[in-house]
């Protein structure tokens, strides 16, 4: 999956050790956003991240995910029905 040209997220949201990085991807239909969710931890003197979450991480994971969703819709603009552009042609595949 190609990230934006600078290979940096267009926005980051962090609550405690949980971080959401929002990536903008150019497509034929316009900009699409993807989100990576990570948990930060310290290994000795180095900070690392993981895509594995414990029970106590889940409430923050839900909040950060919700904030990322809100940011994406706000940045995409809303149509007359209050839906962002991405909601009209979403992909439900997993």
Look up the pTM and report it: 0.74
Angle at 75 between CA 71 and CA 78, to 5 degrees: 105
Residue position matching structure tokens 């991480």 = 57
Measured CA distances, 32 to 19, 40, 83 (Å): 20, 26, 14
- How many angstroms separate the CA atoms of 91 and 65, rounded? 18
Assign 90 a pLDDT band (cuts: 50, 70, 90).
very low
Residue 86 clears pLDDT 80, i.e. is over it: no
Which pLDDT score is estimated for 76?
82
């Amino acid at each position: 999956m190609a990230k934006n040209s600078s290979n940096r997220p267009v926005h980051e949201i962090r609550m405690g050790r949980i971080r959401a990085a929002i990536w903008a991807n150019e497509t034929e239909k316009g900009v699409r956003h993807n989100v990576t969710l990570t948990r930060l931890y310290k290994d000795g003197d180095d900070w690392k991240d993981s895509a594995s979450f414990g029970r106590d991480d889940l409430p923050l994971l839900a909040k950060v995910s919700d904030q990322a969703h809100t940011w994406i819709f706000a940045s995409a603009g809303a149509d007359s029905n209050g839906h962002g552009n991405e909601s009209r042609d979403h992909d439900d595949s997993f």
